[in-house]
């Protein structure tokens, strides 16, 4: 086993161990992948101010996210097909998050169902959903989330239609993999993955199979989204979800200040500044570039989170300094899961936490609550 010291080490190992179509599903963007790359690259443009001769003892990164106590301002993002990165992957990731003390968000497009995750964990998790044409199915899904004791709903707003993801199209992405010659050859090089999958019954979309009527092909993500995701999504629909749910509601996929203002007026508890990891509108602004203006516009009215490009604890600290009261990590979690299962997710969280903690100390702080743009070098970070 190689020595793992950063998220990139986990990525390299995951690429070796996960079948090509599922690795590419997580580690890719739409069209030219320009926004996907910018999410990560724009963090690197932001420079930190190092301080010396300050007391670095008794540090804490603890805070709250929508009222929940968390060890650091990080939650695991909802990632579709997580259970295809590693057998029962959503359960493994949820367990790792629970033990570490951060929130886990389960995707609608998960392999393990919300009931599976609820049975395998004790801490409440959050559930992400899309607006579907079938309102009865949505109502049932919201009720299932309530019975699973989910702590919040995360409504994704930026996937009314699916972006063109070239790698998924070329790979013929399905869950489980179609038995094509190319897939069989690739799977033969992934014995660890195949052995794990042979030991579980969970091989397709657990939240949907047996729960949603009138879907012609449950194997295909694109077919299902084309049939069921509602392109007519409006703020009235957001109000409908809020009324159906009655609990904490987080709106994910905000990139524009005007949309942020409407989100704040909707009565939601938090928003996530996000471009869907660069997997929807290619050419869109990176999340960290979009963040400051949105914080300036609505940060005093609603809790602002962000996702996209978080690959280290330094990225978490930079996002916090620019006003994000929480960040979501998707790919960093997926890399850990694909590389080493639950242990790998835990390793990813440990790496990010240590980098966050040490970087905060180098910047002259012992409590994350006191961190603001003063830790950033003027002229290197985006302004509102």
Higher pLDDT pick, 213 / 275:
275
User: Is pLDDT of 220 > 60?
Assistant: no
Residues in the chain: 384
pLDDT > 80? residue 70: yes
Is the pLDDT reported for residue 221 higher than 60? no
Q: Please indicate, yes or no, if residue 330 is contained in any of the structural domains.
A: yes
- The answer to the question of whether 331 is labelled as a binding residue is yes
Mean local confidence (pLDDT), 211-229: 66
Distance CA 295, CA 52 (A): 30
Residue 264 structure tokens: 């704040």
Lowest-confidence range among 216-220, 312-316, 364-368? 216-220
Query: Has residue 11 got a pLDDT over 90?
Result: yes
276 is catalytic: yes
pTM of the model: 0.96
Cα 5 off chain centre by? 22
**Which of 7-16, 17-26, 219-228, 302-311 is predicted least confidently?**
219-228
Q: Count of CB atoms within 10 A of residue 52's CB?
A: 7
Q: What is the model's pLDDT at position 229?
A: 83
36 is in an annotated binding site: no
Count of other CB atoms within 10 angstroms of residue 95: 20
Q: Which residue has the tokens 């590389």?
A: 339
Residue 260 within any structural domain of the chain: yes
Q: With beta carbons less than 8 A apart as the criterion, state whether 46 and 381 touch.
A: yes
Q: Does residue 169 or residue 338 have the better pLDDT?
A: 338
Does residue 381 belong to any structural domain of this protein?
no
Flag whether 1 is in a domain: no
> Domain count of the chain?
1
Q: At what angle do helices 331-362 and 313-321 cross, to 10 degrees?
A: 70
Mean pLDDT, the chain, whole residue set: 95
Is residue 257 domain-resident?
yes
Is residue 266 a known part of a binding site?
no
Least confident of 42-56, 78-92, 154-168, 362-376: 154-168
The answer to the question of residue 2 being in a domain is: no
Is a pLDDT exceeding 70 seen at residue 24? yes
Q: Could you tell me if 90 and 120 are in contact, meaning their C-beta atoms sit under 8 angstroms apart?
A: no
Distance CA 266, CA 279 (A): 26
For residue 198, pLDDT over 60 is answered with yes
What pLDDT score was predicted for residue 211?
A: 79
Cα 307–chain centre separation: 7
Evaluate if residue 35 carries a pLDDT over 80: yes
Q: Is residue 33 part of a domain?
A: yes
DSSP secondary structure of 259-307: HHHHHHHTT-SEEEE--GGGTSSTTPPPHHHHHHHHHHHHTTTSEEEEE
% of the chain surpassing 70 pLDDT: 97
Q: Which domain holds residue 367?
A: 7-375
* CATH number of the CATH domain containing 360: 3.20.20.70
Q: Is the predicted pLDDT of residue 7 greater than 60, yes or no? A: yes
Q: Is the dihedral of CA 171, 174, 175, 178 positive or negative?
A: negative
Residue 252, annotated ligand binder? yes
Q: What is the pLDDT of residue 210?
A: 80
Query: Residue 228: which pLDDT band, with cuts at 50, 70 and 90?
Result: confident
Domain presence at residue 382: no
Among residues 166, 203, 211, 276, the one annotated as catalytic is 276
Mean pLDDT of 299-315: 98
pLDDT of amino acid 47: 98
Question: Which of 31-35, 119-123, 136-140 has the weakest average pLDDT?
Answer: 136-140
Cβ pair 375, 49 in contact under 8 A: yes
Q: What are 83-136's pLDDT values in tens digits? A: 999 999 999 999 999 999 999 999 999 999 999 999 999 999 999 999 988 899
Q: What is the pLDDT of residues 314-352, one digit of tens each?
A: 999 999 999 999 999 999 999 999 999 999 999 999 999
At residue 364, the pLDDT reads 97
* 80 annotated to bind ligand: yes
Is 59 marked as binding a ligand?
Answer: no
* More confident position, 382 or 174: 382
Strand ranges across the sheet with 249-254:
74-76, 327-329, 303-307, 270-273, 249-254, 152-156, 126-129, 105-106
């Amino acid at each position: 086993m190689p020595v793992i010291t950063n998220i990139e080490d986990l990525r390299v190992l995951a690429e070796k161990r996960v079948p090509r179509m599922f690795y590419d599903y997580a580690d890719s963007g739409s069209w030219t992948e320009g926004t996907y790359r910018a999410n990560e690259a724009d963090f690197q443009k932001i420079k930190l101010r190092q301080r010396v001769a300050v007391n670095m003892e008794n540090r804490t990164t603890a805070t709250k996210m929508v009222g929940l106590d968390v060890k650091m301002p990080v939650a695991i993002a909802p990632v579709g097909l997580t259970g295809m990165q590693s057998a029962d992957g959503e359960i493994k990731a949820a367990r790792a998050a629970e033990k570490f003390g951060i929130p886990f968000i389960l995707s609608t497009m998960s392999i393990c169902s919300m009931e599976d995750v609820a049975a395998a964990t004790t801490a409440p998790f959050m559930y992400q959903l899309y607006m579907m044409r079938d309102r009865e199915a949505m109502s049932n899904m919201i009720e299932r989330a309530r019975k699973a004791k989910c702590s919040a709903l995360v409504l994704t707003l930026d996937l009314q239609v699916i972006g063109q993801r070239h790698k998924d199209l070329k790979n013929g992405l399905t869950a489980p993999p179609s038995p094509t010659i190319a897939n069989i050859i690739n799977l033969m090089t992934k014995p660890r993955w195949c052995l794990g999958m042979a030991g579980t019954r969970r091989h397709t979309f657990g939240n949907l199979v047996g729960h949603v009527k009138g879907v012609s092909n449950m194997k295909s993500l694109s077919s299902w989204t084309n049939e069921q995701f509602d392109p007519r999504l409006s703020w009235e629909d957001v109000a409908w979800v809020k009324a159906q749910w009655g609990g904490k509601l987080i709106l994910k996929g905000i990139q524009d200040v005007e949309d942020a203002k409407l989100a704040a007026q909707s009565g939601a508890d938090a928003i996530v500044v996000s471009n869907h990891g660069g997997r929807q509108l290619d050419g869109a602004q990176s999340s960290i570039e979009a963040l400051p203006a949105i914080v300036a516009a609505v940060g005093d009215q609603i809790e602002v989170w962000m996702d996209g490009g978080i690959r280290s604890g330094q990225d978490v600290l930079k996002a916090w300094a620019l006003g994000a009261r929480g960040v979501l990590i998707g790919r960093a979690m997926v890399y850990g899961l694909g590389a080493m299962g639950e242990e790998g997710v835990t390793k990813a969280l440990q790496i990010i936490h240590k980098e966050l903690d040490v970087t905060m100390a180098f910047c002259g702080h012992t409590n994350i609550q006191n961190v603001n743009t003063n830790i950033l070098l003027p002229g290197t970070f985006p302004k509102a």
